[in-house]
Structure 1
Amino acid sequence: MSKAQTPKALPVSSLQYRPRDYFARYDLQAELLTHVKGRARREMIKGALENGAIDELPDFLKEPELESFDRTMLGRMHPMFLGGEFLARLKPKEVEIARISIRSTTFDVTVVYARLVGKRIHYRVVDEYEGETLEEPTTRTSARPLTMGQLIDFFLHAWDLMGCLKMNYPDDVEEMQCFFEAESEFYPCLDETLRDMVQERFAAETDGE
């Protein structure tokens, strides 16, 4: 392809933005944050990395999944520390590509996992309740990584973020925005994009009321 034909790189804020790969070699932060399930532990890891103190963090906090005893101890400190700890176990060579956390009592987390099977990428949406909060389809495949728009469409069809926000805060968009958080090591603008979608969907509705 000639230089004149080379397509321009899309900004990461575009719904058409597509990461190059989910399975390349990661830096330490990406490695930990695509495998560690617990929300509170991920926050500890981020803080330790920012402060250059990751080696001081106990090894069990950096494990993808806690042992039952350690999980119980965290839960006794506060239920919020259990957020994400009951997600389905990652399969071999599977990574987390996106998650949404809500500020419920236990800070429930729903995620999208991806793994390469042959020449196709297999995705699944999992929650902490063995699928009780999800609707089909919760799986799909693709030949290339999803665009951010495709990811959002797949994620929110399987887990109804908008319905969850409407149920908890039917008349308050500001509280809706405070009730959830999205994260992704592959889609840097996922949280911002979802917040714009929430604002666009509910602001006019609540203003009218």
Structure 2
Amino acid sequence: MPGTPLRVAVLVGSTREGRFAPVVTKWLTGHLGQRDDVRADVVDLAETPLPTVLPAFGQEPPPGTTEALSLVTPRLAAADAFVFVTPEYNHSYPAALKNAVDWHNEQWHGKPVAFVSYGGLSGGLRAVEHLRVVMAELNAMTIRNTVSFHNAYGAFAADGRVDDPAVDTAAKAMLDQLTWWAHALRDAKETRPYPA
């Protein structure tokens, strides 16, 4: 519906103890909070852990699976768009994030995905490039623009602010692209269901 804010699920991919993800996520949700056209829902995989054993095709899932998925799946299904906040682990993205992606399928279909990455010299960009291929397989539309924090620990002030105006410009450009695609795809699905 025109005028209805977009529901953007922010998927926090790192679950490591001492992780930097909350700092980056808070910065991102600050940008999302400045927009009237979106409502953010932070899905933190450290707070909503999913089972790590996927059942074989045709097999029953492990006990407790339904309860764990009920904390995440409806939120992903309700989202019009996604932003993945991911570090780079061993030239790729975290296992918890891959697990969350693999537990779901149609929740990603016909929806746009943007990326905010962080890390050392590469800024997590290798994680993003791996995610682009995976999300294409799941019929999602990845956004060209991304925000990456190189040497992330040094990019943020003690209060969580980023003093580099170029980063704010990059965030706005990324979110402008994300919302454009989210509106276009949401409107298209209202006219014609996404093909299964």
TM-score relative to the length of structure 1: 0.28
Which entry has the higher C-alpha Rg, 1 or 2?
Answer: 1
TM-score relative to the length of structure 2: 0.30
